[in-house]
Structure 1
Amino acid sequence: MKIQPLLTYINKIVTLTEDEELYFASKLVYRKYLKGQYILQQGDICNTSCFIISGCVKMFYVDDLGQEHIIMFGVENWWASDLGSFISQAPSDFNVQCIENTELIQISRSNIEKAYSKIPKLERLFRIIIEKAYVASQKRIVRNFSMSAKQRYLVFKQSYPEIEQRIPQYMVASYLGITKEFLSKIKSQIANQH
């Protein structure tokens, strides 16, 4: 199984012995998804946490008017799942869909609990991952309330330069909470300033 990127990621945070790596690996599932495929659909319970080996995904919800609102993107060495649904085992508010052909390592809720019991330091690892996700989410909320669309775009561009090159502009606009026409206007303003 192609789990080396995940083990490399883990070992930057906590150090696993060879036996611990083998045990943890036995709890993982490698999956390939095609562009456009859903990893999770709104209303389903999120039973797996996914580590992206290659590819790009978006997490979004669809409102009552059928409008798509992108909450986050995920690329290599990122985690992608609806954490709220995964933890609470309640139906998901979000969809997770592949923007590119994507390879993932998945761990189920029950297997993660088994791994915590056998390798307690994994609990520390996932606590750190969840803390980072929470902080990023809080910062995003503050940016959405306190910054102009142009400022939010510049932060996105600076924070995730590798993502912007890989996704259509209408998705960037949805993530920023603006129309693609308004995003084009912002980009031309920025280009004219240079």
Structure 2
Amino acid sequence: MLEGDFLIGESLFSATSTESFSAIEDLHCLRFAAAQMKPILMADAALTQLYIAVLEDTLRYKMRREYGFQNLDAAARYQEFRALFGKAEARIPQNQIASYIGITKESLSRIRKNLASR
């Protein structure tokens, strides 16, 4: 996630949550009990529409990620990463970028070198 992005944890649409978050920079975060928040979201039409829009955006993002892992090579996944997060790339540790695209830090270095020499 980048500055200004909005994230909803999976507990709003699942009875259990296995997710965890790690921040590389300071952030502002709200934590709330999903069981208490969901009825509030569903009671107001505008909030329900916002909730649906966020869920749809999340689903599209996850589908693009899944497609990338199934159909793109590491270099293409890195280029996708740059398209999405390029403005923040210099602030993100190389090992986390490599992990995000499913490769080793050394493979990422080779991809970067190959792209730079083109």
| 1:187 to 2:112 alignment | yes
Structure 1 CA distance, aligned partners of 2:38 and 2:4? 18
- Kindly report which structure 2 residues correspond to 1:1-194, keeping only aligned pairs within 5 A, or say none: 74-83=1-10, 85-90=11-16, 92-109=17-34, 110-117=36-43, 119-193=44-118
Higher helix share: 2
Aligned length: 117
Amino acid at match of 1:93: T
CA distance in 2, matches of 1:101, 1:127: 28
**Regions of 4+ moved over 3 Å:** 105-108
TM-score, scaled relative to structure 2: 0.88
Distance 2:110 2:6 in 1: 32
User: Which residue pairs with 1:64 in the alignment?
Assistant: none
| Distance (whole Å) between structure 1 residues aligned to residue 48 and residue 108 of structure 2 | 41
For the 8 Å contact 2:98–2:105, the answer to whether it is kept is yes
TM-score for both structures, normalised by structure 1: 0.56
Counterparts of 1:191 and 1:103 in 2: how far apart (Å)?
Answer: 35
Query: 2: CA distance between counterparts of 1:89 and 1:78?
Result: 24
Identity of aligned residues (%): 26
Structure 1, unpaired ranges of 5+? 1-73
Alpha-carbon contact 1:81-1:96 (below 8 Å) kept: no
The offset of 1:106, in angstroms, is 4.3
Which is bigger in relative contact order (C-alpha 8 A, separation at least 6)?
1
Q: Which runs of 5+ in 2 are unaligned?
A: none
